[in-house]
Amino acid sequence: MDIRQTTRVFDEQAFVGGGYNDDYILAVGNRMILDRKRSPDSMIRKETSLMTKFFIVIFLFLSPSVGAQTGITIDNELFFRVVIPLVNKGHTATILAKGKSMIPFICDGDKVLLEKYERYKNGDVVLAHLSEGRYVLHRIVSLHNDSVALMGDGNLYGREYCPVDSLKALCRTMIGKKGNKISLDTDIQKSRVELWHACLSKREALLSSFTIPDDTFWENLFLSCIKLDRDIKVTIRPCYEIKEFEQEKNIISTESSNVDFSSLISLNESAEFLFNKMKGQNLCLDEVVGILLQEYDVEKSTATNDCLDLLTKWFSLGILKIVVV
């Protein structure tokens, strides 16, 4: 999402209420003031004492036109000169996304939370300062030494290139229009992002009839891609392992600090066999089916259908990593 020329901070009276976290950005006239609701001693300025408990949100509009909406127009460079140091101190800034460059993962009208982060990785959604007054909220698609390539999830082509020190904030959380808080850093989201970027050639067609995607959309897209494209391969994420509980083999994530034993993913003999064979290998559908046929005496059509069902389930749970070769 390309943030150009203007940043509008709306009248605070329109957005009174509770916050999503402990940190707020107050819009008071043309001043940006930070107020920490639960830590009065940490308030940045005394002026905030008259505005406490307001629901504060920064609205970043990408369009340079002012239009009929009321608000205060602030130059991007001046605006982020205040916001970014606050994020660097550990505070969180909530901004409103406007535009189509990050769909289907961040849509027009969603809110995103910006936070401090020091080590970035491929796949991160970041706020980057590309040039004087130009900021974008895009995803890292390539990270090499001190240089970064960015691309919007909703863009058909074109990348932005910048040094790592141009990355100013990380976005790991968004808030949908219904107020639902969504982590952008789960394994399920990672699998969907990997699949979406593997389908770059199909992106224009997918976006031409775009609606907010649900679980069925992602499962159908996965099935379509893995059946038709041998260059799209899958593997098991390294963090997943098989553990035995009550004489049943189950898949769990070793990265989770709290294992949810109420939703363990149980495996039968053939699923356990495939899981172990796929670990550490990038395989297309035909290769997965071939592994199953070497071990079990079944018809190829049966093996293919069983593999599709199993892989789709693992994809929907974030267990599979999508790789393009």
182 band by pLDDT with thresholds 50, 70 and 90: very high
Q: What pLDDT does 178 receive?
A: 86
Q: What is this structure's pTM?
A: 0.77
pLDDT at 154 over 80: yes
Q: What pLDDT does 38 receive?
A: 35
Q: What pLDDT does 256 receive?
A: 63
When pLDDT is averaged across residues 142-148 and rounded to a whole number, the result is 90
* Per-residue pLDDT reduced to its tens digit, 216-235: 999 999 999 999 888 999 99
Q: What pLDDT does 271 receive?
A: 93
Q: What pLDDT does 51 receive?
A: 32
Q: What pLDDT does 264 receive?
A: 65
Helix (H, G, I), strand (E, B) or coil at 12: helix
Q: Are 28 and 47 in contact (CB under 8 A)?
A: yes
Q: Tell me how far apart the alpha carbons of residues 196 and 284 are, in angstroms, rounded to a whole number.
A: 17
Which residues neighbour 302 within 8 Å (Cβ) at sequence distance 6 or greater? none
CA dihedral 312, 317, 318, 320 (to 10 degrees): -40
The length of the chain is 325
Q: Tell me how far apart the alpha carbons of residues 151 and 191 are, in angstroms, rounded to a whole number.
A: 17
Which residues neighbour 154 within 8 Å (Cβ) at sequence distance 6 or greater? 100, 101, 102, 103, 104, 207
- pLDDT, averaged across the chain: 77
Q: What pLDDT does 212 receive?
A: 82
* Per-residue pLDDT reduced to its tens digit, 2-29: 543 333 333 222 222 222 233 333 332 2
pLDDT at 243 over 50: yes
% of the chain surpassing 70 pLDDT: 74
When pLDDT is averaged across residues 134-151 and rounded to a whole number, the result is 92
* Per-residue pLDDT reduced to its tens digit, 53-79: 232 333 333 333 222 334 556 676 777
Q: What pLDDT does 263 receive?
A: 60
pLDDT at 189 over 80: yes
Q: What pLDDT does 13 receive?
A: 26
246 band by pLDDT with thresholds 50, 70 and 90: confident
Q: What pLDDT does 174 receive?
A: 93
Place of tokens 């074109």: 158
pLDDT at 156 over 80: yes
* Per-residue pLDDT reduced to its tens digit, 262-302: 566 888 999 999 999 999 999 999 999 999 999 999 999 99
Q: Which residue has the higher pLDDT, 148 or 13?
A: 148
Q: Tell me how far apart the alpha carbons of residues 186 and 179 are, in angstroms, rounded to a whole number.
A: 19
* Per-residue pLDDT reduced to its tens digit, 99-130: 889 999 999 889 999 999 888 999 999 999 99
When pLDDT is averaged across residues 66-93 and rounded to a whole number, the result is 71
When pLDDT is averaged across residues 174-198 and rounded to a whole number, the result is 92
